[in-house]
Amino acid sequence: MNGNVWTRLLVAALFTAAGACELYAQQGESLLIGGWGFAESGYAQKNRVNYARVVYEPTESNARNICSKKFHTTVNLKAKSTGQLLAKDEFLAGVREWANLSTRYRCIAELAQDDFGRWWQKYYKKDRGIILSVKDAIKKGNPNLQYGATLYEDDLTRLTADELNFLGKHVDVVHFYLHKRDRLNNYDQYIQKIKYHFPSAKIILGVYRTDRREYEKRLKSSEKEEMDLFMKQLNVCFAMVKRKAAGGIEFYPGSLGNDDGVLSGRSMQENEEKAFRFMSRKINEQLFQRGF
């Protein structure tokens, strides 16, 4: 990518940063911004990153460690062990343990399931009983604890209207990720559909900070086209948060402000690492440094 392209993208990010500062002032602490993992405390305080999504076993020491970070925290529910689906009783026992721990460690605000639609459809054949059991375990343990689910645009068509309505009665937070970045033009209709079926749910917009071309089979797309799509997605997400169509933004993979740590735990090709660092720079250095 030549210098002129980088300059244009940098300028675009600077303009986005100014809007980001304004919307944070409007939304205040109800706006959740973070990633998968805890941002380093100095970085988080400087940039007002206040949210983390984490994967831990339900133990007292883990809960204590989570709350020592002082983030609004979503804990991912563990559905598998060594590649095998947990038995229903074992899975629900983990839910109950986290719910009970959250009464003493109140920064744990939500228990969520990643790839929710696939989990429910593939492993439980859309059995509504498991959803009711999870929600019951959460609310009996801590009535203030929320139940979250990661959904993709595919789930909005794969699941029937009746199934989505059922989920909408029990899911408190929807983490919405685009499987395919080039479907950005449909973002508004996706959000409208989520709001229709999940009228009481908070919506967190998920953004991948990775090169998605190979995964999405967009092999003819250039590096510039991919970076432009990423910048467009950022702008769309911030615009939605500004008009309160969503309550926050969640970046994947890894914690914000810790690029080397994220890369050391993942295997990336040179072009993938280059894209990750570029996207992270636009988030870390530009979008958050002015107080977002």
Domain residue extents for the chain: 3-287
How far is it, in rounded angstroms, from Cα 208 to Cα 148? 19
Report pLDDT for 138. 98
How far is it, in rounded angstroms, from Cα 261 to Cα 253? 11
Mean pLDDT lowest for which of 45-49, 114-118, 249-253? 45-49
Average pLDDT for the chain: 86
How far is it, in rounded angstroms, from Cα 89 to Cα 214? 38
- What's the chain's length in residues? 292
Helix (H) or strand (E) holding 224: helix 223-242
Q: Quick check: 12 pLDDT over 80?
A: no
Q: pLDDT-derived band of residue 168, with 50, 70 and 90 as boundaries? A: very high
Q: Quick check: 148 pLDDT over 70?
A: yes
Burial 148-180 (b: 16+ CB within 10 A, else e): bbbbbbebbeebeeebbebbbebbbbbbbbbeb
DSSP 8-state class, residue 37 = B
Reported as a single tens digit per residue, the pLDDT across 68-123 is 999 999 999 988 877 788 999 999 999 999 999 999 999 999 999 999 999 999 88
CATH top-level class for 3-287?
A: alpha beta
How many H-runs (helices) and E-runs (strands) does the chain carry? 13, 10
Report pLDDT for 287. 54
Strand partners, 175: 150, 204
Q: Give mean pLDDT, residues 9-38.
A: 57
Strand partners, 111: 75, 147
Q: Give mean pLDDT, residues 233-252.
A: 90
How far is it, in rounded angstroms, from Cα 115 to Cα 124? 13
Mean pLDDT lowest for which of 16-20, 32-36, 58-62, 238-242? 16-20
Q: Give mean pLDDT, residues 262-270.
A: 83
This prediction has a pTM of 0.87
